[in-house]
Amino acid sequence: MKSNFRNFCLIMAAAAVVAACGNENEAPGTPAQHAASASDEQSSGVCSLLTREQVDIVIPGNDGGKERDASEAALLKDVKMEFCQYLHIEGMNLKFLNLLIYKASSDEGFNQIKIGKWAHQGSSRELDIGDLGFLLDMSEQNEMMATASKGRTVFELKLIADDAPAKSEQLIALARIVGGKI
């Protein structure tokens, strides 16, 4: 099972790298245009909730975050999802942090995303973030996940890295930052 999951992660990372390479046929721009474009991307949306420097505490040398496809949220009624992935690849060493934000516009929508019994049962500890928060320790898979809700919003930060089990306190600190901005 671990092998299949690790292969899945490597495939996802490779896809992210290919997507990040962009289109070689793009017209070149001035450095000022590229800087303005990069700052526009960083300052809008879910990726603006955490800075590159903040994410460096769990993934040194990360890419600053890239917004990812969140179209699967269309399957949920009255729920909008935002997804940012922070990535660092060094040789075959892959580290990434996924930040997912689910926002419900109705009670019916919130009932689909609210933190349920699964969080209580599988969590390693309760967190004092938002209305309800938990840390899920999946050390055997080199993963840690902090999940919290605030109002009709649920967010999760999932760290996948060889050293993830040693970074639970740093992940919780990032979850507090996100919770404070929602």
pLDDT above 90 coverage of the chain, percent: 56
Domain map (residue ranges) of the chain: 48-181
| Confidence at residue 121, expressed as pLDDT on a 0 to 100 scale | 61
- Note the pLDDT tens digit of each residue in 84-124: 999 999 888 899 999 999 999 999 999 989 887 655 565 67
- Note the pLDDT tens digit of each residue in 38-56: 434 444 589 999 999 999 9
Rounded Cα distance between 173 and 54, Å, is 9
| Confidence at residue 119, expressed as pLDDT on a 0 to 100 scale | 58
Q: Are 134 and 117 in contact (CB under 8 A)?
A: no
| Confidence at residue 69, expressed as pLDDT on a 0 to 100 scale | 86
The segment with the largest mean pLDDT, out of 5-14, 109-118, 141-150, is 141-150
Q: Are 54 and 174 in contact (CB under 8 A)?
A: yes
* 178 Ramachandran zone, left/alpha/beta (phi>0; psi -120 to 50): alpha
Average pLDDT, the chain: 79
Going by pLDDT thresholds of 50, 70 and 90, the confidence category of residue 134 is very high
- Domain at 48-181: CATH architecture: 3-Layer(aba) Sandwich (3.40)
Cβ neighbours for 133, distance < 8 A, ≥ 6 positions apart: 115, 126, 127, 146, 147, 148, 149, 175, 179
